[in-house]
Structure 1
Amino acid sequence: MVAPTDGALDRAATRTPRRRLAVWLRRVTRTGAVRTLGPFVPIVVLWWLAAELEVFPAAFFVGPDAVLTEFLDLMRKGVLPGYLSDSLTRLAYGIGFGLLIGLPMGFLVAMSAWARRLTWPLLLFFQAIADIAWLPIVIVWFGFSLTAVTFVIVYTIVFPLVLAVVSGVEQVPQELVRAARSLGAGRFRVFVEVIVPGALPAVAGGIRTGLGYGWRALIAAEIIVGTSGVGFMMFDARRVGDVSEVFLGMIVLGVLWYAMDALVLAPFERATVERWGMVRQVEAGR
């Protein structure tokens, strides 16, 4: 057996701390906090540098410290919690009515040939009209009210959801439907036990997309129609020239949507695909 030389021992000794450091870095970078907040660190640093170096005039561009001060001030006064509560209430109304309308309509259009022939041109027509285009007539109809904002959110959610449901139903293999019918399943049982589970992955994706559109429609409606809410806060701050409040509103919107998507929508979509994604597995095995 050959004894290791002094040089080999020195190289092994230097490698060991490096390996430990590499293992530690891999473990740290795999944690949820680092993966979530890590990508934002360079953006915040660049933002801070741009503000400190006055790349843009201070009246038009503020740094993270000014936004943080504005956040603490609005929280202390209770202004920001009140605006957030109003925005989330409007969003909840819009989501509720949007799902109640979009899901049944989507399955009706997907399952009925006459309903599809009758409504498909209308769906494509209204899908092409942006939600903002409805705001002038909505103001005439409902005024500056919760109903006006809810109408815009529901309109924005319904059409992507209907199209996603139709796409999901079309992806269900007809072999599964025929197999269920050959085993004696009636139309209702085929719908509940074959069509709905097979379409759920696409439906989950449609809900996630529709709610994203609804969130943006909420802010746009609050800017134009609303008398409170985060969108109104940003528009009112622009009117008085408070740039830090505008920046704060943008950050709050991003944080809220990221939290909703990461904690609710993404797990829901992932769990739905894992639970009901057997249709794709069956197709892959053929």
Structure 2
Amino acid sequence: MEMVLKIAREYRFGLVIGCQNWKAVLLPCVLIIVWQCITASGMVKPILLPAPAQVIDSFIAMAYSGELASHLGTSIVRVLEGFALAAILGVGLGIGLGIFPFMAELMEGVIGLFRPIPPIAWLPLSILWFGIEEGSKIFIITIGSFFPIFINVLDGIRQTDHKYVELAKVLEVPRQKFITKVIIPGALPFIISGLRVGLGYAWMCVVAAELSAGMKGIGYMLTDARALAQTDRVLVGMLTIGVVGKIMDSILKAAEKKIVSWKESFTGV
């Protein structure tokens, strides 16, 4: 009897979770059905849009051979390295300029000049400076991820509640304590949002860098598959980037929830 009740509770728990998440999978399922209908009707040539089953077969073959894991692992390492550098620079500079307005005014012209330049436009210079190996790709990823992180952090610092600022002045709170206890905790949601946006840019930049130079990585795999008219392999690479990027974003999103809950308990909200 206890076993039956345990199974019933587990089934009910799974049913509740499934009911809560059905909206997240509804649209992808609809898109796959539409995709299958289009390919089955013959409206589009298979070389332009292969059937879902063909893409799945290619994914299994590439996963089994280790080719997909090899290219994906290379791209993930590049993304993490470039993103880590961008995060350190973006968060550090954003906090520094947010705390010292004079420095922000001093650097406003330089930042305004470089910010609109697309990361891919730096590729010729990055190849000249670092060659076609890892250095140029890390540079492109860092440049592309830096500005979204930096701008979000700077905005977060600037939007600190003025009541806290005035209160800290009245109470003569030491500057270092004010920064660590008020400024940074208040800007944490903006920092995490900037990191999430920067991570998305990191994936876009790594693919762009690998499309243009290199012999390994998801971007190179896409270029090679396109040259051989292997559309199914192109779709495998694209969907793999989407899935991995979503997983990494979900990790940051979970961290954001924990930070927000910590902030609420810390501030007593």
Q: Same fold (TM over 0.5)?
A: yes
**8 Å CA contact retained: 2:119, 2:143:** yes
Counterpart in the other structure of 2:63: 75
Counterpart in the other structure of 2:20: 31
Q: 1:151 aligns with which of 123, 139, 160?
A: 139
Counterpart in the other structure of 2:114: 126
Task: Report sequence identity in percent.
Answer: 27
One-letter identity of the residue aligned with 1:212:
G
The alignment partner of 2:42 has SS state of: coil
One-letter identity of the residue aligned with 1:194:
V
One-letter identity of the residue aligned with 1:43:
L
**8 Å CA contact retained: 1:201, 1:276:** no
Counterpart in the other structure of 1:171: 159
Distance change >3 Å, CA 28–CA 166, structure 1 → 2: closer
One-letter identity of the residue aligned with 1:276:
K
Q: 1:182 aligns with which of 152, 157, 170?
A: 170
Counterpart in the other structure of 2:252: 265
One-letter identity of the residue aligned with 1:211:
L
| Residues 1:48 and 2:36 aligned together | yes
One-letter identity of the residue aligned with 2:210:
E
The alignment partner of 1:31 has SS state of: helix
Q: 1:243 aligns with which of 213, 228, 231?
A: 231
1-structure distance, mates of 2:106, 2:17: 56
Structure 1: which 5+ residue stretches go unaligned?
1-25
| Residues 1:219 and 2:219 aligned together | no
Give the deviation of 1:76 after TM superposition. 1.6
Counterpart in the other structure of 2:7: none
Which entry has the higher C-alpha Rg, 1 or 2?
1
Give the deviation of 1:198 after TM superposition. 0.9
Q: Deviations over 1:121-145 (max 9, x none)?
A: 2112211000011111111221211
Counterpart in the other structure of 1:105: 93
Structure 2: which 5+ residue stretches go unaligned?
1-14
2-structure distance, mates of 1:72, 1:238: 19
Counterpart in the other structure of 1:7: none
Distance change >3 Å, CA 108–CA 46, structure 1 → 2: same
Counterpart in the other structure of 2:263: 276
Distance change >3 Å, CA 122–CA 29, structure 1 → 2: same
* Cα RMSD for the two superposed structures: 2.3
**8 Å CA contact retained: 1:198, 1:278:** no
2-structure distance, mates of 1:97, 1:103: 10
One-letter identity of the residue aligned with 2:255:
F
Give the deviation of 1:117 after TM superposition. 1.4
2-structure distance, mates of 1:198, 1:88: 31
Distance change >3 Å, CA 261–CA 225, structure 1 → 2: same
Q: Deviations over 1:28-75 (max 9, x none)?
A: 76233x333222101001111111111111222101111111111111
Give the deviation of 1:167 after TM superposition. 0.6
**8 Å CA contact retained: 1:75, 1:81:** yes
One-letter identity of the residue aligned with 1:130:
P
| Residues 1:138 and 2:126 aligned together | yes
The alignment partner of 2:132 has SS state of: coil
1-structure distance, mates of 2:24, 2:241: 16
**8 Å CA contact retained: 2:199, 2:249:** no
Distance change >3 Å, CA 185–CA 28, structure 1 → 2: closer
**8 Å CA contact retained: 1:233, 1:249:** yes
Aligned residues: 257
Counterpart in the other structure of 2:10: none
One-letter identity of the residue aligned with 1:197:
P
Bigger Cα displacement from structure 2, 264-273 vs 214-223: 264-273
| Residues 1:207 and 2:177 aligned together | no
The alignment partner of 2:117 has SS state of: coil
The alignment partner of 1:236 has SS state of: helix
